């Protein structure tokens, strides 16, 4: 209950008795959040003595669940490992849920828990209030704050052995992305449990903020040395000083919500943006800044395009909102020697002032390739500004690209704003889906590319711009020029050199691409077994690299820590290829046995919803043996 000292088990039991007998509430013993959950349970005709089913969603929906929560899983991976270490001796199982209460990933000491907790702590189990009554996770999500739910505070009598603490996880847009929970079966003192989950949630939020494609990320702290950065207020800003995202602590502290209304640096700080930024860039220590409220705090620059840590992240792309971070420079492979060769040529072309055109089906990695080239180019420390021409309404694209002057139109920001072309000055401009650019704008863009000068909407002054240009499209652009949808002169102007990104099914070294993706996803902790690589090679990949990334994200989430990915970890439609016996294998009795064995393991994994421990029990073998049997024979 809140952050105050927990009540004793006796006090909770007596308060529970009072509530269910006479409707009395004792807020000294039980958190009002728990009472509110009990009200909701009672009002939906739940009865405390009913039994509880911990139902996992169907296995084929598991991959969908993992995919829906990729952003959360990516950001939570490191903090969860840290939490796991912190609670290792305390017998806690750890759970990450999505906002609807589905168990997205399960860690910690699950095996050591009582059977009911083990049943609940399985990936895909629906732990929403609707399904299992009051839980710490559902209360934390409802209340938007950490909540502890101790034994009999759970609505159902059957759940009285769960002792849990959970905290909500907020995304930089202010939505609840999920909850982090620790649970054990013992009613031992749980000092620190609530603080620990709250801290873990703020580390995940820190990670999510750091993935925001911003020009600068600034933290504010009260004291110089006593706090870790993730305990601080965080602001993500664009080049022009607009606040594009804040963490939850900042949202509470300032009351601002950049998703609902636009705020500039100067609305919060009693100083100019450009000057503060340049001071922060030069400073070795946190810098004292005054807020407009008069309060002084210490500011640090934790993310910044000019620093190596941020060079890899493309900026906010208008029309597409916030993007997932891109692959680290060293680890990018495109899975085909022809593409690798063209990368070097493409780089030379760019560095000689010529534009590059990337062609490829959707999801083939045009965006990844563009930012990869930027990072390898001489302009790596300057901005990489991406704009998705297909995703912005036609009415906004002009102001997005060219910017506008003060009062250029109703709703125009005070002081005007720089467009993407200006923002890219010194760096790289990436015009994604250029084939979808309205014809009316193509002429203006062509003029800028020829003169290298921009004029903001509502203005007259011309401003020189200097950027390297990369364009991309999935359209057949030559056909678009023939039909008049794309200006031929613009096509020539953007096409200094073309790199075609083959569909995944045609890449000659898919394994290299898959391994580099897996390395990023698992922080280098696991590889790909030969059998899994074979399964990947047999799939058609209609969704290209995006689909591959999703499949590997799923596999990485369900595989036990530290082991290589096998076909059993891949989404069913991909891993299932392996149950199709390869001809050579079935030629021999040994091959037939191997195939039958794989099929039996596959079925057991299906029936246990991917729970390896349960599958091993069903097959009458140990988990270690099951993993060994899943390993491909070399
Ligand atoms: N070489 C690669 N290494 C790692 N991840 C990759 C690679 N190529 C693509 N991806 C991943 O695949 C997904 C799609 O990539 P990307 O957005 O670059 O494709 P795209 O061709 O620009 O797609 P669209 O045309 O739909 O915009 C992203 O999640 C990206 O991280």
Centre of ligand 1 from the C-alpha of residue 364, in Å: 6
Q: How far apart are CA 126 and CA 120, in angstroms?
A: 8
Mean pLDDT confidence for 433-458: 88
Residue 32 has pLDDT above 70, yes or no: yes
Residue 5 has pLDDT above 60, yes or no: yes
Mean pLDDT confidence for 46-65: 85
pLDDT band at 408 (very low <50, low <70, confident <90, very high): low
430 burial type by CB count under 10 A (0-12 exposed, 13-18 middle, 19+ buried): buried
Question: What pLDDT score was predicted for residue 520?
Answer: 84
Ligand 1 atom nearest the C-alpha of 517 is 4
- Residues with Cβ within 6 A of ligand 1? 324, 327, 332-334, 360, 362-368, 474, 513, 516-517, 545-546, 549
Question: What pLDDT score was predicted for residue 411?
Answer: 61
Ligand 1 atom nearest the C-alpha of 369 is 18
Centre of ligand 1 from the C-alpha of residue 174, in Å: 26
Q: What is the mean pLDDT of the chain?
A: 83
Residue 29 — left, alpha, or beta (φ > 0 → left; ψ -120 to 50 → alpha)? Answer: alpha
Question: What pLDDT score was predicted for residue 606?
Answer: 62
pLDDT band at 410 (very low <50, low <70, confident <90, very high): low
* Protein residue closest via CA to atom 24 of ligand 1: 362
Question: What pLDDT score was predicted for residue 557?
Answer: 78
- The radius of gyration of the chain's CA atoms, rounded to the nearest angstrom, is 27
Residue 101 has pLDDT above 90, yes or no: yes
CB atoms < 10 A from the CB of 260, how many? 9
Structure-token match 């700080």, residue found? 269
543-569 per-position pLDDT tens digit: 899 889 888 888 887 787 788 999 888
Centre of ligand 1 from the C-alpha of residue 503, in Å: 11
pLDDT band at 390 (very low <50, low <70, confident <90, very high): confident
Residue 377 has pLDDT above 50, yes or no: yes
Structure tokens at 45: 């005709």
Question: Are the C-beta atoms of residues 201 and 225 closer than 8 Å to each other?
Answer: no
3-class SS of residue 259: coil
Mean pLDDT confidence for 349-373: 92
Centre of ligand 1 from the C-alpha of residue 465, in Å: 28
- Which of 138, 140, 150, 146 is CA-nearest to residue 183? 150
Question: What pLDDT score was predicted for residue 331?
Answer: 57
Q: How far apart are CA 577 and CA 192, in angstroms?
A: 47
Top-confidence residue, 152 or 586:
152
CB atoms < 10 A from the CB of 434, how many? 27
ipTM: 0.98
Pocket mutation for ligand 1, best pick of 337, 545, 552 (most atoms within 8 Å of C-beta): 545
Q: What's 398-457 look like in SS3?
A: HHHHHEECCCCCCCCCCCCEECHHHHCCCCEEEEECHHHCCHHHHHHHHHHHHHCEECCE
Centre of ligand 1 from the C-alpha of residue 545, in Å: 6
Question: What pLDDT score was predicted for residue 122?
Answer: 93
Question: Are the C-beta atoms of residues 88 and 111 closer than 8 Å to each other?
Answer: no
* Protein residue closest via CA to atom 29 of ligand 1: 546
Question: Are the C-beta atoms of residues 99 and 140 closer than 8 Å to each other?
Answer: no
Question: What pLDDT score was predicted for residue 226?
Answer: 46
284-343 per-position pLDDT tens digit: 778 899 999 999 999 988 765 433 333 333 333 333 222 333 333 445 889 998 898 899
Structure tokens at 532: 């899994």
Lowest mean pLDDT among 200-209, 252-261, 617-626: 617-626
Ligand 1 atom nearest the C-alpha of 331 is 3
Question: What pLDDT score was predicted for residue 414?
Answer: 66
Question: What pLDDT score was predicted for residue 471?
Answer: 97
Please, which residues have CB within 8 angstroms of residue 596's CB and are 6 or more apart in sequence? none
- Please report the DSSP string for 538-567 in residue order: HS--TTHHHHHHHHHHHHHHHSPTTPPB-G
User: What separation in angstroms does the CA of 49 have from each of 20, 38, 45, 359?
Assistant: 12, 13, 12, 62
Top-confidence residue, 254 or 557:
254
Question: Are the C-beta atoms of residues 589 and 564 closer than 8 Å to each other?
Answer: no
Top-confidence residue, 471 or 613:
471
Question: Are the C-beta atoms of residues 115 and 125 closer than 8 Å to each other?
Answer: no
Lowest mean pLDDT among 67-81, 137-151, 215-229, 514-528: 215-229
Mean pLDDT confidence for 172-191: 89
Residue 44 has pLDDT above 60, yes or no: yes
Helix then strand count (H, E) for the chain reads: 27, 20
Centre of ligand 1 from the C-alpha of residue 205, in Å: 24
* Protein residue closest via CA to atom 8 of ligand 1: 365
Question: What pLDDT score was predicted for residue 300?
Answer: 87
Question: Are the C-beta atoms of residues 62 and 48 closer than 8 Å to each other?
Answer: no
Q: How far apart are CA 465 and CA 283, in angstroms?
A: 29
212-231 per-position pLDDT tens digit: 878 889 999 887 654 455 56
The DSSP code for 8 is: P
Mean pLDDT confidence for 589-608: 61
Task: Report how far apart the first and last C-alpha atoms of the chain are (Å, whole number).
Answer: 55
Size of the chain in residues? 634
* Protein residue closest via CA to atom 16 of ligand 1: 365
Percent of the chain with pLDDT over 70: 84
According to DSSP H, which parts of 26-166 are helical? 32-43, 59-68, 70-86, 115-120, 129-132, 136-143
Residue 583 has pLDDT above 90, yes or no: no
User: What separation in angstroms does the CA of 112 have from each of 92, 378, 459, 561?
Assistant: 9, 54, 69, 17
Centre of ligand 1 from the C-alpha of residue 326, in Å: 8
Q: Which domains does the chain have, with CATH numbers?
A: 9-208 (3.30.450.40), 212-304 (no CATH), 310-502 (3.40.50.300), 527-630 (no CATH)
């Amino acid at each position: 209950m809140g952050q105050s000292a927990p009540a004793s088990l006796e006090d909770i039991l007596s308060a529970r008795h009072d509530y269910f007998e006479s409707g009395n509430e004792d807020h000294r013993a039980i958190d009002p959040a728990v009472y509110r959950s009990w009200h909701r349970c009672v009002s939906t005709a739940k009865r405390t003595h009913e039994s509880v089913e911990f139902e996992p969603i169907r296995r084929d929906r598991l991959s969908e669940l993992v995919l829906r929560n990729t952003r959360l899983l990516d950001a939570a991976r490191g903090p969860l490992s840290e939490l796991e270490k912190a609670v290792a001796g305390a017998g806690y199982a750890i759970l990450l849920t999505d906002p609807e209460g589905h168990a997205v990933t399960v860690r910690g000491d699950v095996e050591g828990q009582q059977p009911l907790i083990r049943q609940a702590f399985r990936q895909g189990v629906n732990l929403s209030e609707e399904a299992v009554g009051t839980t710490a996770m559902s209360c934390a999500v409802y209340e938007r704050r950490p909540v502890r739910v101790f034994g009999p505070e759970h609505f159902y009598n059957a759940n009285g052995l769960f002792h849990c603490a959970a905290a909500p996880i907020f995304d930089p847009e202010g939505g609840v992305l999920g909850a982090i929970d620790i649970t054990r079966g013992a009613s031992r003192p749980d000092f620190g449990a609530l603080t620990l989950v709250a801290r873990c949630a703020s580390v995940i939020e820190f990670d999510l903020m750091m993935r925001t494609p911003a020009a600068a990320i600034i933290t504010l702290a009260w004291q110089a040395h006593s706090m870790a950065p993730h305990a601080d207020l965080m602001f993500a800003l664009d080049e022009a000083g607009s606040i594009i995202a804040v963490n939850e602590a900042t949202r509470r502290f300032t009351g601002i919500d950049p998703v609902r209304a636009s705020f500039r640096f100067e609305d919060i700080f009693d100083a100019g943006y450009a000057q503060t930024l340049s001071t922060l860039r030069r400073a070795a220590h946190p810098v004292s800044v005054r807020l407009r409220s008069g309060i002084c705090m210490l500011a640090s620059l934790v993310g910044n395009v000019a620093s190596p840590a941020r060079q890899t992240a493309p900026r906010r792309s208008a029309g597409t909102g916030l993007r997932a971070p891109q692959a680290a420079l060293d680890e990018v492979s495109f899975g085909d020697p022809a593409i690798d060769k063209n990368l070097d040529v493409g780089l030379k072309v760019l560095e000689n002032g010529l534009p590059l055109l990337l062609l490829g089906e959707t999801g083939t990695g045009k965006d990844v390739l563009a930012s990869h080239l930027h990072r390898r180019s001489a302009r790596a420390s300057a901005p990489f500004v991406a704009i998705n021409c297909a995703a912005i309404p036609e009415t906004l694209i002009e102001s997005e690209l060219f910017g506008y002057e003060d009062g250029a139109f109703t709703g125009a920001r005070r002081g005007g704003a720089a467009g993407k072309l200006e923002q890219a000055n010194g760096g790289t401009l990436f015009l994604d889906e250029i084939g979808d650019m309205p014809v009316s704008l193509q002429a203006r863009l062509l003029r800028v590319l020829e003169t290298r000068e921009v004029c903001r909407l509502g203005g007259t002054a011309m401003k020189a711009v200097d950027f390297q240009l990369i364009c991309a499209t999935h359209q057949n652009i030559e056909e678009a020029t023939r039909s008049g949808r794309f200006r031929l002169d613009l096509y020539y102007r953007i096409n200094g050199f073309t790199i075609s990104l083959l569909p995944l099914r045609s890449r000659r070294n898919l394994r290299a691409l898959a391994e580099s993706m897996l390395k990023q996803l698992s922080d280098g902790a696991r590889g790909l077994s030969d059998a899994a690589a074979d399964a990947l090679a047999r799939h058609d990949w209609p969704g290209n690299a995006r689909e591959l990334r999703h499949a590997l994200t799923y596999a990485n989430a369900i595989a036990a820590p530290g082991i290589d990915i096998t076909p059993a970890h891949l989404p069913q439609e991909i891993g299932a290829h392996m149950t199709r016996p390869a001809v050579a294998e079935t030629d021999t009795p040994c091959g037939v046995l191997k195939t039958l064995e794989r099929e039996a393991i596959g079925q057991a994994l299906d029936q246990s919803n991917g729970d390896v421990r349960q599958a091993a029990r069903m097959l009458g073998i140990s988990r270690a043996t099951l993993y060994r049997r899943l390993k491909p024979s070399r």
